[in-house]
């Protein structure tokens, strides 16, 4: 698969996840998709709560689903999309949550941040330099 197909298929998976967004309070839908070294794709969407501060971000939901499926590393690619024109970049908490899974497998995943009009390509290490992670506790 070419790099562009890889990118576009993962963004498409994130966009499909966004369709299940439960975001009645913000009306801000977000979808995320993670691709692992074995080709597995795990998606997530944001899940809000009447107690507003309890909202779960799409990326965090995706990481929790992946870890529940047994993934402990191998995270190679991440796509995040909102239904906004401008790209959505992961919030600070999600950067940290993504880092935990990435660091377990010693990868530095590419992160495609997408909106309807633009895609920005980053690396997790660029979004969260000098991250605090599992190795920091050793």
Closest CA to 97 of 50, 127, 54, 64: 64
Helix axes 58-68, 92-104, angle to 10 degrees: 20
- Least distance from C-beta 20 to ligand THU, angstroms? 12
Q: What is residue 79's DSSP assignment?
A: E
Catalytic residues: 59
Closest CA to 113 of 4, 1, 7: 7
30 binds ligand THU (CB under 6 A): yes
90 binds ligand THU (CB under 6 A): yes
- Least distance from C-beta 45 to ligand THU, angstroms? 7
57 binds ligand THU (CB under 6 A): yes
Closest CA to 36 of 59, 10, 18, 5: 10
84 binds ligand THU (CB under 6 A): no
Rule CB under 6 A: which residues touch ligand THU?
Answer: 23, 26, 28, 30, 46, 48, 55, 57-59, 90-91, 94
């Amino acid at each position: 698969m070419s790099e562009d197909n890889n990118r576009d298929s993962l963004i498409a998976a994130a966009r499909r996840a966004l369709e299940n967004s439960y975001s009645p309070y913000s009306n801000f839908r977000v979808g995320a998709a993670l691709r692992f070294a074995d080709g597995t794709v795990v998606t997530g969407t944001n899940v809000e709560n009447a107690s507003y501060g309890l909202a779960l971000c799409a990326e965090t939901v995706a990481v929790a689903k992946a870890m529940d499926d047994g993934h402990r590393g191998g995270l190679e690619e991440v796509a995040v999309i909102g239904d906004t024109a401008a790209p959505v970049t992961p919030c600070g908490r999600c950067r940290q949550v993504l880092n935990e899974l990435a660091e377990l497998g010693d990868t530095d995943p590419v992160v495609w941040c997408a909106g309807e009009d633009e895609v920005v390509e980053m690396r997790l290490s660029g979004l969260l330099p000098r991250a605090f992670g599992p190795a920091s506790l050793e």
